[in-house]
Amino acid sequence: MRFAKSEELFEQSKRRIPGGVNSPVRAYQAVHRHPVFIDRAAGAYICDADGNSYVDYVCSWGPCILGHAHPAVVAAVQEACARGLTYGAPTAGELALAELIYECMPSMEVSRLVSSGTEAVMSAVRAARGFTGRDKIIKFRGCYHGHSDGLLVRAGSGALTQSAPDSMGVPADYTKHTLIAEYNHPETVRELFEKNPGEIAAVVVEPVAANMGVVLPEPGFLEFLRGITKDRGALLIFDEVITGFRLGLGGAQELFGVKPDLTTLGKIIGGGMPVGAYGGRKEIMDLVAPVGPVYQAGTLSGNPVATAAGIATIKILRDTPGLYEKLAAYGGRMAGCVRESLGASVCVNQIGSLLCVFFTGERVTDYESATASDVSAYAHYFNYMLEQGIYLAPSQYEAMFVSAAHGEEEFEKTCAAVKGFAQI
């Protein structure tokens, strides 16, 4: 494979854009090479500036669950564009999307559209604080909730209760209300509630952690969070920006049968356009402006073109029989292929169309075991697969996303490449 155009574009981009990219993980630092620049994508395939074509398992980090440029979604966008790109006024499309979200996820009685997952979680936390009149929140080490100041914390190793920001430019004052617990370790949550009685507004969690690789909740963990938040007068926020419409129409909350107070969505609900949403119980959402005093706004919120893409995507997901079963079957077969080929050197965590190949011999159940992975082994794997025409996330700690456009041919090609990697 030749990468001359990508290399040239990267060199030029670095002069005008920080690191040459508009989101850090795109820079491929973790896999020690320059990024490939993308020119186009269709179905399960993505094509770079040099004309190389790959089976895509990034799917824009989740949104492209139907594959790229699904004809019905593209048609909906084109039709919406022809009626104007933005009005800054309410539309029937926004109502239709809110109704669809409620139909699929009944806990979202009332929801508000925003333009990114970051905004969705930031706003949900604000609503939770407004509702409870409390300031502190609990999040989990290794869970990502966007880059808003108060959520950019995972705490240094060891000091569980310390809340140092992950980023320069975030005053420690902004993160002092963010308490850090360990995913799948209920006792760490209980301890924080004990130490901060009556002060915790909400627990925010990715119900399936998908930003430290993919880590499934242990049986009872989500139920525990539901129970303790309810007992202590705090709210439970499920960040379903990845899992929403990925694990099924009703997201992780339907799959695990645990109903949060508030939910955040993003990625898939925009069908490839920038959309996020937060919502939940009516009595909480009734605090949001203009009904209530919790302020939150957005010039392009509920943008008609983005909303059209979201509606078209969700309708296809809802109306295609067997779609989620097919996605899960592909995910399961892919996990099987990797386990069979790479054996004890990896741990493959998979749920539906979401999976992750950890380069560790141990079971991955939490942040500690996830970060025990051999990231340089992952970098080798990534580079080998790229050369074979398989486009994976350029980091050990990202998920592998399957789309409905992935079929037998793509499976065979990918599995053959994994087997090839096992030979070297």
> Catalytic residue positions?
144, 239, 267
Q: Which of 377, 144, 361, 124 has its CA nearest to residue 236?
A: 124
Dist CA 242 CA 359 (whole Å): 22
Kindly indicate which of the ranges 68-76, 237-245, 334-342, 383-391 contains the residues binding ligand PLP, using the contact rule CB under 6 A: 237-245
Residue closer to ligand PLP, measured from CB, 179 or 252: 252
Q: How far is 116 from 278, CA to CA, in rounded Å?
A: 10
Among 38, 100, 108, 241, the residue binding ligand PLP under the rule CB under 6 A is 241
Distance CA 73, CA 52 (A): 25
Nearer to ligand PLP, 77 or 122 (CB): 122
239 forms part of the interface with ligand PLP (CB under 6 A): yes
Give the contact letters, 275-294, x = binds to ligand PLP (CB under 6 A), - = no: -x------------------
Residue 242 binds ligand PLP, judged by CB under 6 A: yes
Considering only 117, 165, 260, 271, the residue that binds ligand PLP (CB under 6 A) is 117
**Residue with nearest beta carbon to ligand PLP:** 117
Shortest CA distance to 398 belongs to which of 44, 34, 36, 24?
Answer: 24
Interface segment toward ligand PLP; rule CB under 6 A; list 9-17, 124-132, 140-148, 192-200? 140-148
Residue 398 interacting with ligand PLP (CB under 6 A): no
Number of residues that bind ligand PLP (CB under 6 A): 14
- Peptide bond before 290: cis, by omega within 30 degrees of 0? yes
Report d(CA 57, CA 355) in Å as an integer.
10
Q: Is 145 in the site for ligand PLP (CB under 6 A)?
A: yes
Among 108, 121, 334, 370, binds ligand PLP (CB under 6 A): 121
Q: Which of 116, 123, 301, 371 binds ligand PLP (CB under 6 A)?
A: 116
Rule CB under 6 A: say whether 163 interacts with ligand PLP. Answer: no
* CA 187, 191, 194, 198 torsion-angle sign: negative
| Using rule CB under 6 A, residue 56 touches ligand PLP | no
Closer of 63 and 304 to ligand PLP (Cβ): 63
Instruction: Select the span of 114-122, 328-336, 359-367, 402-410 touching ligand PLP (CB under 6 A).
Output: 114-122
- What one-character-per-residue DSSP string does 26-90 give? GG-GGGTSPPPPEEEEEBTEEEETTS-EEEESSGGGTT-TT-BT-HHHHHHHHHHHHT-S--SS-
The yes or no reply on residue 144 touching ligand PLP (CB under 6 A) is yes
Could you tell me the smallest distance in angstroms from the CB atom of residue 399 to ligand PLP? 9
Largest separation between any pair of C-alpha atoms in the chain: 62
Q: Which two tokens stand for residue 167?
A: 């980023």
| Residue 113 · residue 90 · CB < 8 Å | no
- CA distance linking residue 80 with residue 256, whole number of Å: 36
Are 59 and 353 in contact, with CB atoms under 8 Å apart?
Answer: no
The binding site for ligand PLP (CB under 6 A) comprises 116-118, 121, 144-146, 206, 211, 239, 241-242, 266, 276
